[in-house]
């Protein structure tokens, strides 16, 4: 017998200010500087609940991110 791992579905959308659609790019979630998850830009991914840093090579005040 085993215990199922509890996960949540995460999807991160990054949209440039003034744009009508999100950028098509993958996102990475890090813990302690190590990549733990890579999220597909369209499908997202299943992630264990926790605190993560989002690697955002596009980081700019002109972008907004939405996590759902």
- pLDDT per residue as tens digits for the range 5-62: 899 999 888 887 788 888 888 889 999 999 999 998 889 999 999 999 888 666 554 5
Question: Domain locations in the chain?
Answer: 8-60
Q: What residues does 26 pair with on adjacent strands? A: none
pLDDT at 45: 93
- CB-CB contact of 21 with 14 (8 Å): no
Give residue 67's pLDDT band: very low, low, confident or very high (50, 70, 90): low
Which pLDDT value is given to residue 57?
65
């Amino acid at each position: 017998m085993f215990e199922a791992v509890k996960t949540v579905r995460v999807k991160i959308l990054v949209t440039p200010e003034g744009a009508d659609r999100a950028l098509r790019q993958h996102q990475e979630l890090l813990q302690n500087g190590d990549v733990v998850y890579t999220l597909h830009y369209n499908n997202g991914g299943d992630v264990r609940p926790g605190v993560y840093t989002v690697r955002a090579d596009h980081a700019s005040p002109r972008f907004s991110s939405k996590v759902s």
